[in-house]
Amino acid sequence: MPKTPPGKSQLAKLARAHKPTPRAQTPRKEDYIEVIYELIHEKGYAKPVDIAKNLHVTPPTVTGMLNKLREEQFIVHEKYGGIVLTEKGSGMADGIRQRHGLLVNFLRLLGADEKRAQKDTEGLEHYIDSRTLELLARLVEYASKNPQWWNQFQKQPESV
């Protein structure tokens, strides 16, 4: 049986990593805000049927979440009317868009194609810590300002 090196054991590290961290919003709420924002941006309006189609959920599921978002003052939604983001909702949408864009750019930088970068970002964007995002932003910025460094990095043989 291998000895555990000094410091924390791997099990202790895993336990700490799996400990829930307090979140301001759930990933699902963020998905709704993101889709509402994009619908308004692309079509000029957001309707529940369009949200259901884009999130692959049923209209009653959308209605339930819209009620929650309205109660939490992220949206204004009149029955049978369009949906408008409040200032609070717009602020949340802006943060989500920045985070999404950064992660997509990072994954593209690593060589992921657009489809894979978008899909993987959906899995990452709700769970990555803001400090980690800041580090990724610094790396993406550095790589874009120093293409010779990045080209040299990419030439390194894989050691996987």
Indicate the pTM of the whole model: 0.76
Dist CA 48 CA 32 (whole Å):
10
pLDDT at residue 11, rounded to an integer:
80
Instruction: Classify residue 4 by its DSSP letter.
Output: P
Beta strands (DSSP E) in the chain are 75-77, 83-85
pLDDT at residue 153, rounded to an integer:
79
pLDDT at residue 8, rounded to an integer:
74
Retrieve residue 71's tokens: 């109660």
Q: Find, among 36, 45, 88, the residue nearest to 66 by Cα.
A: 36
pLDDT at residue 79, rounded to an integer:
77
Low-confidence ranges of the chain (pLDDT < 70): 1-7, 18-24, 158-160
Nearby residues of 75 by Cβ (< 8 Å), 6 or more positions away: 36, 66, 69, 83, 84, 85, 86, 89
pLDDT at residue 24, rounded to an integer:
61
Q: What's the CATH code, domain 24-148?
A: 1.10.10.10
Domain boundaries, the chain: 24-148
